[in-house]
Amino acid sequence: MRDEYLQAARLKIDDVNILVNVVSRRVKQLRQGHRALVVSLEKLSFEDIALREIIEGKISYEIPTDAEMIARMR
């Protein structure tokens, strides 16, 4: 994982735990065959692709409300 991508992504998602979860979920999707939302002339790891997608604003996240969390548990 490239440090410069990680630092730039932290400017978009400052909570490290959320950043790890977003990257992890996206890496799983990429490994399942989903297409990358960014173009690169060099070979990037799935982690770097996910970080670039965050940096370029191609993916984001939402924190569910308490009511949404309760509804999911039912």
For residue 18, give Cα distances in angstroms to 25, 55, 69, 74. 11, 14, 16, 24
Tokens for 36?
Answer: 């990358």
- Domain assignment of residue 37, given as a range: 3-73
Instruction: Tell me how many domains the chain contains.
Output: 1
Stretch 68-72: mean pLDDT:
88
pLDDT, one tens digit per residue, over 3-20 is 999 999 999 999 999 999
With beta carbons less than 8 A apart as the criterion, state whether 30 and 36 touch: yes
* pLDDT score of 73: 86
**CATH number, position 28:** 3.90.940
